[in-house]
Structure 1
């Protein structure tokens, strides 16, 4: 589904590459975790794949499309950003109608998709409430719905459960697993390594813009001496030094 070859990105004025000669192949219907310390290049890589920024060099394809086909590519993918991408003064329904219409959805079809997703994610009684009144977990769930109304083949998730309560996190993860079972390929970043260990079918650990290890979570744990979980593997490969990043 995703083929990345020698992909690099250096921002204007930067001393180093945020993504450097990166190769990665992600199969269809995978739940693929991109894990790394702050500043490792995760968000830059996702921004490249979503055609939000252009690469300095190298190439990638998603289902055969490249950043040179931006309009077709954007119909193929869904993006759940780390920050809320919602209009706080609008209701949940109004937000979702707006975002759905951007993908060409309208009428009864759009109404039905919104209603079904809102019910599945436990938000039916809040559908006509302004998003500004919502808790963090509720906003995360609406953010997710906005990204999947057009049924994307590939869904990019940047920290989708950060700052939410356990109940919201559980509902989000179960919904994502349901989408994956229906055929959606998921690319996921998170600092919640226990969550990634359980959720992802494969992971890649990225540091300094390069993939330093990848495979099934249990394989990585088995291959790393004295590792009991994915967090142990992560610390062994990236070190314990603080990675403050601004």
Structure 2
């Protein structure tokens, strides 16, 4: 599933007329990078949720056939946040486990490896990818103790959730009704308390493209890499 329903308030005024997943980097919409990566890994059954200016995303991606994918659309009258969007789309996710990718991140994660870990998840568990804390989120989210996600603390350096993870379908079985229009964090915290949340460190490229300034920086970085002699 690709989460693409957010309003993108911090990205305004760019998102007043263009949904954030369609903002381009290197001449390609952010969401297209994810679709290509997933299809390359053999993941071709995709669900994308949309809300704000969502029909623009539907028109841009269509049924996914140009990439060899098959896209189903989960439409939200108003953005339901991360947990709410997944819960609404569950009837379309007809599989014991699945990946979820935030459309507005830039990341070179190994989708093949994550899909394999998704298939191996124990019941009611999830596995998240974490990155080093960026300057705009220096406090991080959680910490890692081996492959277990734990609360951060003085002896547990924090890391930041990348927005990419693998979930067992039954991870959402006991979601509180408030989750149907809320974020994932309360579900994560409950899973941490129960020992059901797993994680790993991603040391490759990652950026939360959340502001015009970060988008501009990413565009410059990608352009520099594309130029002769770029790395």
- TM-score normalised over the length of structure 1: 0.26
- TM-score normalised over the length of structure 2: 0.27
Structure (1 or 2) with the larger CA radius of gyration? 1
Between 1 and 2, higher relative CO (CA 8 Å, sep ≥ 6) is seen in: 1
